[in-house]
Chain A
């Protein structure tokens, strides 16, 4: 099983601040995905990164895949209360098609 470690576990910031959360593994992944989950809902896919060194932007969110494809980061610029949620990274299980291994997530709270 390919383990994904996310940090920090919890993050509480004020509106307007910038933040970065991390997803690390000792294993190489063919791709990594980032999801956001709100209370009472299932995770919603934000982005998939595939190429080592790849950077993708989604409005104020910037995702980067490490050159060695073992880690990824999510940077949020000028956070807003609507960014509050659980951010999960996930990578394909090496032994089960497209089923995913998930990190335990970073719980983000953005206060006005």
Chain B
């Protein structure tokens, strides 16, 4: 497809388990962003990749969160030892230049 895709669309896991969320950006987009959207907190920035530069991880809430971007395209967000407060919708966005970002549909994560 032409848009940003994310998988899975829904993920239910048990507290303490690790999860991986995947993002396929729009082809050719050099920038990729991860955000988290939860009730009461709105959309929060997590991490930002731009080309081959070191990622900006300043939004990651704890060291249980990490992300990588392979080959400048697909990105995976990993949450280790999930906690109930990690339950949220995780959104990925990509952009070619400037702040104009295109968002995927998100992955809804539920930690039981």
Contact = CB atoms under 8 A, between A and B. Distances in A.
B74 to A, nearest CB: 17
| SS of B interface (majority) | strand
Given A42-B4, A96-B58, A97-B56, A104 B42 contact: yes
B105 A42 contact: yes
A7 B51 CA distance: 36
A100 B48 CA distance: 10
B65 interface: no
Interface in B71-112: 91, 93, 95, 98-106
A45 B100 CA distance: 7
Contacts of B95: 98
Bin chain B's interface residue count: 20 to 34
A103 B42 CA distance: 7
Interface stretch (A15-23, A57-65, A69-77, A87-95): A87-95
Task: Give the dominant DSSP class at A's interface.
Answer: loop
Contacts, number: 66
Interface string A27-52: 00001010100001111110010000
Contacts of B44: 102
Contacts of A35: 103
Contacts of A44: 103
A100 B45 CA distance: 7
B91 A98 contact: no
Given A95-B58, A97-B50, A45 B42 contact: no
B100 A48 contact: yes
A29 B45 CA distance: 17
Contacts of A93: 45
Nearest to A92: B99
A94 B53 CA distance: 18
Contact of B42 (A96, A99, A102): A102
